[in-house]
Structure formats: structure tokens, C-alpha cells
Chains A and B, each alone.
Chain A
């Protein structure tokens, strides 16, 4: 049963490579986008930290900024 699942009458190499390529592409794209997201978020937090109190109060009055600072998405 397991052997048949891998070999698939000699087509296993084609089927498994197609599925593997798809899943590896998914994982790669996901990681690239996640790295970009974390980079931008960390940059935002660093910039926000360097603002003086007056500017920080103004920046915090914008709802998006508040959302970004309040740990938006864990992904």
C-alpha cells in the first residue's frame, strides 16, 4: 500500500516532484513575504521609538499606527 503510494505505477517521480515543487514554492513565498512584513514592522517600531513625545502623540492618533503598534498579526 505505502510502496504503491510512492511508486504509483512508475509515475511517482512525476507526481511527487510536481506536488513537492508546489509546496516548496508556497513555503518560499510565504517566508519571503513574512520576512518583508517583519522587516517593515520592526522599522516602524524603531522609528516610532525615536519620535519625541509630541510627535508620538500625533502619530498615535492615527488608527493604523495604533494597530501596527498593538502587535497586529502574529503571522
Chain B
């Protein structure tokens, strides 16, 4: 099954896909921005500041999702010795880190009019900051270590340690008394968010997911060409 993940087989697809993904991203983002900034209603309590949710929440979701994906790929890659899984994980990390930073910064901007402060050492916010540090450690490890075996081992350890933080982020608002509000959207139970706000939120999430796919494809292609460059040196 893993032979389908060979770079030779994937590259013919990944090299052509970015332009289509970019086009789709621009279309979905335009719809999402129109919905988020113009068409969606203001909140009865938070007024227009609620619109920050449309960038803050999708960014947080995707950064968590990407880190979970990186961990899964690193573990499977390490167990079955699939080098390409590490390459995929490495290519996902830059967009994961950027989404994490976006979640932190937009959360801080949202905090000022809502809580009266830019920052609080609250469980949810602090655990998101820790996730950003894990992303940084992961990316720095790829820069520091030259030896493949070493970098695979170190990055796997970083992701395994970092993944412990993911459920803490998710349940921090339930486990501790936090400034951060509990989740408004639940997959297993009824969501407390109105459809008029849910639609722009999901549209923006789709746009952000497409952006991370675009960055992943471009980064993955860059990494493959880098490997091929080394191959040409050896000829």
C-alpha cells in the first residue's frame, strides 16, 4: 500500500495541482470574506467584534489538525521507515505554525474589546502558545540536523511530546476555569452557534484548509527538487 506514497508517483500530481488549488482558494476566500465581514449578523453581546471569530477559530482548528497529522505521519513513518511521510510532515509544518500564530494574534486582538486585555495566562491561550513552541522546535530540528536518521528520530520525539498538549488545548476550557469561552460547535452534540454564523465560519475554514493545502504542495515540491538537486551532485 505504501508504494503509492513514493515521491515519483506523487510528484506528477503535486506539481500540477497548486494552480488549481490557488484558484479554488481565492474563490472560496472571497465568498468567506463577504460572508464574514458583510453578510453575517453582529452578535447581541459582542457586536461586530464577533467577526474576528471567522479568522481566529479556523486558524486554531487547522493548526491543531496539522500538528495531529504531523504526529501521525512521523510515528507511522518511523515505525515503517517511510521517508516520504517525514517529507510530507515537514512540508505541512510551515502552514501549521503560521495558523497557530494567526490564532494567537487574532485571539489577542479579540481579547482586548471582549476581556479588556490583550493577553492572559489562561489555560487555553497558554497551551496554544506551547503548541507554537513545539512547531518552532520541530522546524528548527529540521534545520539543525543533517543526518536523516537523527532528524527523523528527533522530530518524531518532538511531535510525540507535542501531541500530549493537543487534548489539553481542546479540553482546557472544560477542565479549568478560563477566560476563554467553551466550544460553541460540537460534532457529537447540538452546537450553540446560529446557522447564519456557522456558514461563514465553515466557508472560512474551507478557505484556510485550501491555503494550507496550497502551501503544503508548494513546499513538498520544493523538498523533492532539493533531493533531486543532491542526486544530480552525486552523478
Docked CA distance A67–B221 (Å): 11
Asked if A9 and B94 make an inter-chain contact with CB atoms under 8 angstroms apart, the answer reads no
Contact string against A for B residues 216-235, beta-carbon threshold 8 Å, 1 for contact and 0 otherwise: 00110110111011011101
Cα–Cα distance between A11 and B221 once the two chains are bound (Å)? 41
Interface of B, secondary structure class, is helix
| Interface-lining segment among B103-111, B121-129, B138-146, B174-182 | B103-111
Contact for B37 among A5, A17, A62, CB less than 8 A = A5
Judge whether A33 and B215 touch: CB under 8 Å: yes
A22: contacting residue among B8, B22, B102, CB under 8 A: B102
Interface 0/1 of A35-52, CB less than 8 Å to B:
011001101100110010
A63 touches B49 (CB 8 A): no
Of residues 191 to 235 in B, which have CB atoms within 8 Å of A's CB atoms?
211, 214-215, 218-219, 221-222, 224-226, 228-229, 231-233, 235
Contact B51 A33 (CB under 8 A): no
Residues in A neighbouring B105, C-beta threshold 8 A: 18, 21
Most B C-beta atoms less than 10 A away, residue of A36, A51, A64: A64
Chain B 24-60 interface mask (CB, 8 Å, partner A; 1/0): 0000000001001110001000011101100110010
Residues of A within 8 A of B (CB): 5, 8-9, 11-12, 14-15, 17-19, 21-22, 25-26, 29-30, 32-34, 36-37, 40-41, 43-44, 47-48, 51, 55, 58-59, 62-65, 67-68, 72-75
Q: List 8 other contacts, CB 8 Å, given A37-B222, A44-B232, A67-B11.
A: A9-B48, A30-B218, A33-B215, A36-B222, A64-B7, A64-B228, A68-B225, A72-B221
